[in-house]
Chains A and B, each alone.
Chain A
Amino acid sequence: MSGLGREIGVQRILIVEDSATMRSLLASTLEGLGAAIEICEAESGFEALRCLPRDAFDLIVTDINMPDINGLELVSFVKTSAAYRSIPLIIISTEGSERDQAKGLELGADAYLVKPFDPDQLNRIAGELLEKRRGEG
């Protein structure tokens, strides 16, 4: 699948998070991965579903607790879809929802992080997943 008008070497990250504050913190952290990163933000699971067919993504970072469809349902959708299955996925959720995080991994998420997240740790994991994806691409 080829991205629409994508520059060579640019990788796209989709952030799914209902809190505007968390969204911009995640975005500013992930922008630290370098110039070859493009960030898209979705403020709900539904919006993420609308974003997916529009652009080619190389990484999805999602919250679990959201008002319309939750992060687990989004993971389930991505990982059962032939078109999106290969996109790596990181779950970021607050402490206390370990059970839901375990479910996320079971559904096919690649990693999970606990909020408040450590920016360095997020970028290390995201960087590794993107690197691996570039190798596959």
Chain B
Amino acid sequence: MAARRSRVRSRRSKAYREFVSEAEEVLERMRADLSDLADQNDAGAEVDPESVNSLFRSAHSLKGMAGMFGLDGLSELSHHLEDVLDGMRLGRVALDSPAASLIDEAVNVFVAELGSLDDPKTPVEGSEAVAELIGRIDSAVREPAAPTDALTGLDLDPALLRALTEYEEHRLRENMRRGRNIHLVEATFEILAFDEGLAELSVAVREAGEVLSTLPSPGAAGESQIRFGLLAASELDTDALRTRLDFPDATVRGVWAPAAAGSSPAPAVEASSDRAVAAPEAPPAADPREIESLKSISDTVRVDIRKLDELMNLVGELVIQRGAVNSIARRLQAEPATARIGRELEKIHKLLDRKIQGLQAGVLEVRMVPLRQVFEKLSRVARRLRRDTDKEVRLELRGADTELDKLIVEELVDPLMHVVRNSFDHALEPADERSALGKPEVGSIRIEAFQRGNHVVIEVADDGRGIDLERLQERGVERGLVDAGDTLSRREVLDLIFAPGLSTRDEVTETSGRGVGMDVVKNNLTALGGVVDVDSQEGRGTTITLTLPITLAIIQALVVGVGGQRYAVPLNSVLETMLVDTQEIQRSDGREILNLRGEPLLLRHLSQEFGLPEIEGAKPHVVVIGLGDARLGLVVERLEGQQDTVIKPVQGPVQNVRGIAGATELGDLGAVLVLDVAALIEDAGRRREAA
């Protein structure tokens, strides 16, 4: 087959790389659609035909692309997938059929195969996994080709019927079968600017039913205009639809109505109750998406996140220069001879400041993405777990719109996934055990995200067996993490779950495995400047709380001074500062405690942390820092003010000093070290245990 061979392109070519990246995008979209479908199924709603159609189109694209690169295995797999989805969208294959359940798997196999094709030795015919899956899809699909009668009784221009694809024709029949009215909504637009008006009209029609087809035709005024005919199905009759649309330039014409509809009150009642059932089919929420999808054709750009990093660095440097301008302005104002020019410079500084703040906020905003995509991945994992094990679990997700820096969101997927798997595997009891305990048979995992100041908090709460504190402490002793005779507080015992290699369940399960524990979650979070907390009620459930900064890029810092040195403390972890009298500080067991509104606050001297001389007798400042639930009072000599800073990693010997997160430049103050608040709090906690 010479023609076939000529189609095969090198896997190193630019075209091939384009194919891989587009295929990845398509597969990601399929996952999102599958997830939507599963949610609709779970909710018992009538399935949105567009979800299935979109899946079909994706499989169709994959087939075409894989074929062009001679990837016969993948081409064949997507062909089979397309067949199943075609059957589904045309109503020949049930949505809950065995074939339908293979789609998830096919997407995963496709992704894996795509990855392995990087190795030029991988055969184009596809791996055994692909062949095996194709076989299974084959044996699951036994669809009879449904005979279709000619469409009759429609008062329509035959040209419009001819332009319907098989799928659109099926949707038309399906809506007629369900006894909905069929309308033709027509409107004329200027050809160079039809998008907005057409989008508005489509959205309005969709609110009242389903758009079956959009047929463009030349407008009456010739080339400069274009006319669109929207074939629509709706419970509403023509007059009601016209009133509902409220679109002065559109004409609405009935082209088909179910027999007897409107002639007696009975069908009208039926129609309205039917509408209540069918309502989820066209939720208003779907409409903005439609507008978005039209817009994305022209208004969206994709940007490499590294370019945003560069921009952010530039903004960061501007911020620092701004600080320098300010201090020169102040110096000038302090001298009578230059006071006037100093005030002018101060004014310019203020203007500059406002613009830079806008710029900074703008760049930050571009980097923010909602947690939605992470949540979608979690629902997929939960579904797979449900399928692979016999456990039932209800995953409740809240706060999907909470926004975080793109980089943080990327890094968050793994730890969050791990926490959910842990809950599923270890925390939730099997159904029989649960009902014996008087709990609902179906376990629940609730994930809630919300913003708290400059942080985003994500809580993962299950209603499982909770943590057995006694058993956890025993494990700690076995591992040599604590001594057998120690009396530990509840919190100290709970914190043991973050120690390396500790698990309270002995079995190894496939989903969470052994060796990867909460310590990894903790390390991941710490690397992002966040913390993880745990709380648990035995028999009632466990809550894991992840607290993360909204962005890593620019932070406000409190500059503090100790013995001639300056340090920057990230302001988002500073709760308050106060001037204290040394007499208010209580000392016991070598620890210093401050009574803070009735709560004991552990103090640490920054000078001691870094081995600096302390000036005796001075009234110290206490900077109360907190992360998650932990608090610590840092004793410092001076507070020198707030400043925007960009944290840069440090190199050389300081790199490995605990308690230092990085360095930053403070304009004319020069470079200072930034404190690692999480490490300081953690070390203080550890020393308290050791004491």
Q: Which residues of A contact B (CB under 8 A)?
A: 18-22, 24-25, 28, 43-47, 49-50, 52-53, 64-70, 72-77, 80-83, 94-97, 99-100, 103, 106-107, 115-121
Contacts and interface: CB of A to CB of B under 8 A. Distances in A.
A62 to B, nearest CB: 13
**B-side interface size class:** 35 or more
Contacts of A121: 3
Label chain B's interface by main secondary structure: helix
B223 A53 contact: yes
B86 to A, nearest CB: 7
Contact of B222 (A50, A66, A73, A83): A83
A100 B22 contact: no
Contact of B15 (A24, A77, A81, A100): A24
Contacts of B192: 50, 53
Given A47-B297, A73-B163, A107-B162, A21 B68 contact: yes
B83 A96 contact: yes
Contacts of A64: 165
Given A65-B57, A67-B57, A118 B86 contact: no
A21 B18 contact: yes
Nearest to A63: B64
A44 B293 CA distance: 11
Contacts of A49: 191, 194, 216, 226
A73 B22 contact: no
Nearest to A47: B297
B223 to A, nearest CB: 5
Contacts of B86: 96
B57 A82 contact: no
Given A76-B215, A81-B217, A119-B6, 14 more contacts: A69-B214, A72-B163, A74-B216, A76-B159, A76-B216, A77-B216, A80-B217, A81-B218, A97-B166, A100-B166, A103-B165, A107-B159, A118-B6, A120-B3
Contacts of A119: 6-7
A18 B22 CA distance: 11
Nearest to B60: A65
B195 interface: yes
A73 B214 contact: yes
A20 B22 contact: yes
B64 A75 contact: no
B355 to A, nearest CB: 37
A49 B86 CA distance: 28
A80 B160 CA distance: 11
Given A49-B226, A96-B82, A25 B15 contact: yes
Contact of B217 (A45, A47, A76, A95): A76
Given A18-B61, A21-B15, A68-B214, A116 B223 contact: no
Nearest to B190: A53
Which 10 pairs, one residue from A and one from B, show the smallest C-beta to C-beta distance? A116-B67, A76-B163, A81-B218, A77-B216, A115-B64, A21-B19, A118-B3, A72-B163, A116-B68, A83-B223
Contacts of A103: 162-163, 165
Contacts of A77: 215-218, 226
B455 interface: no
B484 interface: no
Contacts of B191: 49-50, 52-53
A118 B79 contact: no
21 contacts: A24-B18, A28-B15, A53-B223, A65-B60, A67-B57, A69-B214, A69-B216, A70-B163, A70-B165, A72-B164, A73-B215, A74-B216, A81-B218, A83-B223, A107-B159, A107-B162, A115-B63, A115-B67, A116-B70, A118-B3, A118-B7
Given A53-B223, A80-B159, A118-B3, A21 B65 contact: yes
A115 B6 contact: no
B7 A21 contact: no
Contacts of B82: 94, 96
A52 B223 CA distance: 10
A55 to B, nearest CB: 13
B473 interface: no
Contacts of A66: 57
Nearest to B229: A73
B645 interface: no
A79 B168 CA distance: 20
B294 interface: yes
B60 A94 contact: yes
B536 interface: no
A18 B216 CA distance: 18
B454 interface: no
Residue among B6, B215, B293 with max Cβ neighbours from chain A (10 Å): B215
Contact of A116 (B15, B64, B213, B214): B64
Contacts of B537: none
